[in-house]
Amino acid sequence: MEAFHELVERHQTALFNVVLRTVKDPAIAEDVTQDAFVRAWRSLGQFRGGNVRGWLMRIAVNRAYDTLRSQKRRPADSLDAMEYEPRAQWSAGGAAPEHPEGHAVRRELSEVLERLLAKLPDDQRTALLLVDLEGFSYDEAAGIMAVAPGTIKSRISRARARLREEMRATTRDAELFDRFLRRDGDVLTRDG
Amino acid sequence: MEHLDPELLSAYIDHELPAADMAAVERHLAACDTCRAEYEELRGLSTLVRELPVYQPKRVIDVSAHPRGGSDTLAKIIAFSKPLAIAAVLLLVAFAGLRLLTDDEPDDGGDQISFSAVQPTEAGTEVAREASEDQAQDASFAEAPADSESMSEPPPPMGAMPARQSQTQATTEVVASAPEQQEAEAMSTPTPEPTAAATPAPAMEPEPVGEGNRWLPVAIVAAAIVALAGGAGWYRFVRPRRHGT
């Protein structure tokens, strides 16, 4: 039990954030995450070792999809009403913005991206979140979604193409995006 | 200059290409402004997703109220009860159906009795075959929608394939045994007086209309249903599976 609690502590945030963007409702996301861990606990005897994070995520993604299927209606823009306080994330992954304006652009762009992510087909969004948000490899994401790695590659490519198209569809969003690319351009070049 | 395939560019951004391809893409990007611009936009989007807000769940995850699934034996027994229950229901339906068919047959005399001994068996076999086919279909369809359930467990290992084949073989053997049984019964018919039972002879029994022989095909079909249900249940719930990620 102690070891399982440790698993929960280590992985619940990752599961929750993917589930949240899938079911688009914080309360439902909490239920699904709880349910995923209960199922993991119950089927612990069947786990044969390997990537436990991937195993947990697979359970969570499946439960989220089950919930989507059983939902009568899909709430739109529920993330706007979320009570959750985001943890500071600028230090994770890419470089922090150099000045407040960059910070403000990033924050506004995040809101735009959440909205556009919600419009993606479920499979494309899930693949993108698993790889970009959670850092799974194509192979790991393929195992989680029970598809071939080539399918993951294709879904991510289509997701990005669609996001790019949507981002360019509105003048305001396109301006924000261009400012982000210009301001962070040198950082991206260094990382690339 | 030919431009890069967007999927290739996307995989490059994720470092998911072989080293040689990664190098080739880099060389192209250095020489092609259009692809370079597209790369920067896709890379920017990837960064934005990576740096989305991270939300913390408020509810404390608590699994202590639930039994741990470490006891494979108990879990298997409990999981096995479902297909056994299905098998029991199917048996009841099959028996009820056979009883109805048996009761409907006219009882007009010796020759007629011999026919009635045959027809219910064939009909019963037909009903039971359909039931067993339905059961096989149910077992195979149960794999697909229950995938959401099964995906919470690791995907089947490659070694599980023989189990499915052996189940199919078992099905084939059992179904094949019914007509074989009929043939055996027909062949075992001694014909010391062939003229006496010329017309119904192929179907006549030496001890033709005994209760035991009439229910033997039923018992075989019932055993087939139980075997199918057990096999489906084992394949679905009990078969050891390997984590696939």
Q: Name the amino acid, one letter, at A103.
A: H
Q: What single DSSP character describes residue A80?
A: G
Half-sphere exposure of B1 (CA within 13 A, CB side): 12
- Residue A180 CA to residue A113 CA, distance in Å, equals 13
| Candidate from A44, A138, A180 with C-beta closest to B44 | A180
State pLDDT tens for residues B52-110: 999 998 877 777 777 776 555 555 566 666 677 777 778 777 777 777 777 655 544 44
User: In Å, how far is B225's CA from the nearest CA of chain A?
Assistant: 28
Query: Could A58 and B151 be called an inter-chain contact, meaning their C-beta atoms sit closer than 8 Å?
Result: yes
Is the torsion defined by CA of A32, A38, A42, A43 positive or negative?
positive
Per-residue pLDDT at B211: 53
pLDDT band at B240 (very low <50, low <70, confident <90, very high): low
- Residue A110 CA to residue A173 CA, distance in Å, equals 11
- Residue B37 CA to residue B41 CA, distance in Å, equals 6
B6 touches chain A (CB under 8 A): yes
Query: In chain B, which among 202-241 make CB contacts under 8 A with chain A?
Result: 240-241
Nearest-CA residue of chain A relative to B148? A62
| Candidate from A42, A93, A181 with C-beta closest to B50 | A93
Per-residue pLDDT at A45: 83
Query: Could A85 and B50 be called an inter-chain contact, meaning their C-beta atoms sit closer than 8 Å?
Result: no
- Tell me what percent of the residues of chain A surpass a pLDDT of 70: 79
State pLDDT tens for residues A90-103: 333 344 445 566 77
Q: Residue B50 burial (CB < 10 Å; 0-12/13-18/19+)?
A: middle
More confident residue, A72 or A154: A154
Question: pTM higher than 0.80 for the full model?
Answer: no
**Chain A, chain B: beta-carbon pairs less than 8 Å apart:** 195
State pLDDT tens for residues B158-202: 443 444 444 444 444 444 444 444 444 444 444 444 444 444 444
Query: In chain A, which among 23-52 make CB contacts under 8 A with chain B?
Result: 26, 29-30, 33-34, 36-51
Question: What was the ipTM of the complex prediction?
Answer: 0.85
Q: Name the amino acid, one letter, at A150.
A: G
Residues of B in contact with A40 (CB under 8 A): 152
| Candidate from B10, B57, B154 with C-beta closest to A33 | B57
